Structure 1
Amino acid sequence: MRMNPKAHEPDSLPAPGPAALAQSEALVAQIRAELDANGGWLPFDRYMERALYAPGLGYYSGGAMKFGRRAEDGSDFVTAPELSPLFAATLARPIAETLAASGTRAVMEFGAGTGKLAAGLLNELAAQGVEFDTYSIVDLSGELRERQRATIEADAPALAAKVRWLDALPERFEGVVIGNEVLDAMPVRLFARGDEEWQERGVTWRDGALTFEDRPVGTTADMAFLDSLDVEGDYVAETHEAAFAFTRTICTMLERGAAFFIDYGFPRHEYYHAQRAQGTLMCHYRHRAHGDPFLYPGLQDITAHVEFTGVAEAAVDTGADLLGYTSQARFLLNAGITDALGDLDPSDIKRYLPAANAVQKLLSEAEMGELFKVIAFSRGIDEGIAAFARGDRSHSL
């Protein structure tokens, strides 16, 4: 969870250890070789892909800690499932409802982090008496797969046999797909407007370091989209081709059931707002946020807010139905998170007070409640579900 991060100057951030720094330097060497092979310039989405996913060296494919509560444990950010087990307990309710409504018996999670969400969902679905056959996890990181396996075996040992890790997507899937903070980690392209002219912002090597370099926009389609934005003066914008392609792939694969994506972002008319002139690209390192994507490549997270209108268009273009779109706060309230909190004994202060504080962070407009959204797509489900019954914002996309 990149929740309400405090921005820092890059030179105020802690330095990595020798082994981590060597990993980052090896990745930079690979990126320099690719720059040399491509005339000295790469579009930013290619750089972001390498920085996050280069085999063995990228942020998500390497061995960095990533998920945790404090910088001292070597982590960079905390996600909602790590923040409170009530997140998984509540999300299990719309998942159970969707499995029943679609007559399906499988769950698939993308980017399962430490496995906390998977373990929590497995336990809660079993507690609700939901019968399901498999819980599949898709994650590129071998290190994270091992953490997930250990977490599930420790927290949900009776259900660990239902879990499998996939190296490739099936052509067809029936069940429920979950992606919590997955879309924000998809590579984005960058475009910069100055002197009344748009250019594509890419990456080059200059003066002994990776840095930005702008070049003319390459296609008429890109230029037409950029010229359609109602902005003036200097402006930086991301486009989300990778996230849209991922959404199309998932919704094409989905034969029956639903796909839920939880992430931070805005519909298009808010995303490309005139006041959001610096874009939304942000980096996260040791629980601190900053704006330099070239600091320690492979050792820090690089993200951008999600443009949910394009995500919805990509899904609907495959023939999937828009099941709902709302804030995380409204979704969790509709799904019964306050009931889940109410099941705890308020007199047990040591347990209840941290749980209540965590729920407040999940729901508060100043924390995750408003910035984070939930969007879902479905096939073969005739009725809506309770989690979108009130406060659905599909009309705003």
Structure 2
Amino acid sequence: MMNTLPEPAADALIISQRLQAALRQAIGERGGWIPFSYYMEQALYAPGLGYYAAGSHKLGGAGDFTTAPEMTPLFGAALARQLAELLPQTAGDLYEFGAGSGRLAVDLLAELERLDALPEHYYIVDLSPDLIARQRDTLTREMPHLLERIVWLSALPERIDGIVIGNEVLDAMPCELIHWTPEPMQRGVSLGENGFEWQDRPIDDPALRAQVEALGIAEPGYLSEISRSNQAFIRTLAGRLARGAILLIDYGFPAREYYHPQRHMGTLIGHYRHHTVDDPFYLPGLMDLTCHVDFSAVAQAGIDAGLDLIGYTAQAQFLVNCGIADVMQRLDPTDVRQWAPEASAVQKLISPAEMGELFKAIGFGKNVAIDWQGFAQGDRCHTL
């Protein structure tokens, strides 16, 4: 498999080698073992070396994966209709986490401007210097008249009165790997003759052990993930949200599907140059690592932190509820060069065989209306 993957550029390979050296040092300093969550965190976010913190081209046809906003502006236009409904109930600020190339920001702002519902400020919270530079270029080129509303943040403000959105943010947060032998063990990374290798250790964190035991899994050999980062992220947002809403779109399942017996190898996967890679130790720093989202855990974290769980549904249903079909009607069907690629992209967004069913939307609120357009039909909160 690995022999079929594109070779990295020499400068990129040097970055990966430096990250591998830093990981080997960390393993040595920590008694010969690190939890996988630490490995994943460093592989993605180590300053100047991690996948999202170094200068690699990540999005689009020349990158490692393609997100919905990169496929069509109709995705952002549909989401904007939901935001236009919510923004007037707040101070009018919009916060986007992990804004990628800036494409979604452009599409949201364009549609919100058309709806006469522009946010007071559009805050982008991102940790990647490379992506921030791309976002600035994209927004400067396509939305120069709105630049004064756009602010980049490296950390959350203490108080949020507005709308928080994140597309494919949760899946990029570090997760713990648990291996049932049948006793649940925490899977981590050690060093062997051929480099990084797996090593299981007993779970010594009482809180993590309680979460694992609550799953009720006893199948020997079962491997899966728990994203404590997802839960902490929701708790942090809840603590700072004075008034407003949180809308997150990502791929994943409710717990009963996430931990289904047939999903015995977990969901962790790597993305490298539009290839999927099963080995998370392949070129650390140059490959994206993700795991699917346990939406039951995300929902419970929000409820426990005092948020209203507004809705949960498939991406297809959410986009249809938000009127993506109406947005499509603006296109000229006689202009094949425009119509055909947009129609194809929308088909991928809503088809059950593509992104429509695997991707989900979940919404939380605090001191705002609980009836949202995006969840008007097909809400699945009862499945969580």
TM-score (norm 1): 0.94
TM superposition shift of 1:127: 0.8
1:111 touches 1:182 (CA, 8 Å); kept in 2? Answer: yes
1:164 aligns with 2:151: yes
TM superposition shift of 1:224: 4.3
In structure 2, what residue type is equivalent to 1:262? I
In structure 2, what residue type is equivalent to 1:166? L
Alpha-carbon displacement from aligned partner over 1:343-384 (angstroms, at most 9, x marks no partner): 111111110011100000000011100000000111111341
Matched with 2:186 is: 200
In structure 2, what residue type is equivalent to 1:87? F
1:260 touches 1:377 (CA, 8 Å); kept in 2? Answer: yes
Alignment of 1:286-297 (within 5 A): 286-297=273-284
Query: Aligned equivalents of 1:138 and 1:220: distance in 2?
Result: 32
Alignment of 1:2-41 (within 5 A): 9-41=1-33
Other structure's SS at 2:239 match: helix
1:130 aligns with 2:117: yes
Other structure's SS at 1:31 match: helix
Matched with 2:221 is: 234
Identical-residue share of aligned pairs (%): 49
TM superposition shift of 1:208: 3.8
Alignment of 1:102-141 (within 5 A): 102-141=89-128
1:307 aligns with 2:299: no
In structure 2, what residue type is equivalent to 1:338? A
Query: Aligned equivalents of 2:33 and 2:5: distance in 1?
Result: 28
Matched with 2:253 is: 266
Query: Aligned equivalents of 2:378 and 2:175: distance in 1?
Result: 30
Query: Aligned equivalents of 2:193 and 2:370: distance in 1?
Result: 59
Question: Aligned-pair RMSD on alpha carbons?
Answer: 1.2
Matched with 2:203 is: 217
In structure 2, what residue type is equivalent to 1:319? G
Query: Aligned equivalents of 1:223 and 1:205: distance in 2?
Result: 25
Moved more, 228-237 or 205-214: 228-237
Other structure's SS at 1:343 match: coil
1:109 touches 1:137 (CA, 8 Å); kept in 2? Answer: yes
How many correspondences in the alignment? 383
Query: Aligned equivalents of 1:80 and 1:292: distance in 2?
Result: 25
TM superposition shift of 1:233: 3.0
Matched with 1:98 is: 86
For structure 1, the residue ranges without an aligned partner over 5 or more in a row are 1-8
Query: Aligned equivalents of 2:190 and 2:309: distance in 1?
Result: 40
Alignment of 1:35-50 (within 5 A): 35-50=27-42
Other structure's SS at 1:148 match: helix
Matched with 2:76 is: 88
Other structure's SS at 2:64 match: strand
Match of 2:339 among 339, 342, 352: 352
1:10 touches 1:292 (CA, 8 Å); kept in 2? Answer: no
TM superposition shift of 1:225: 3.7
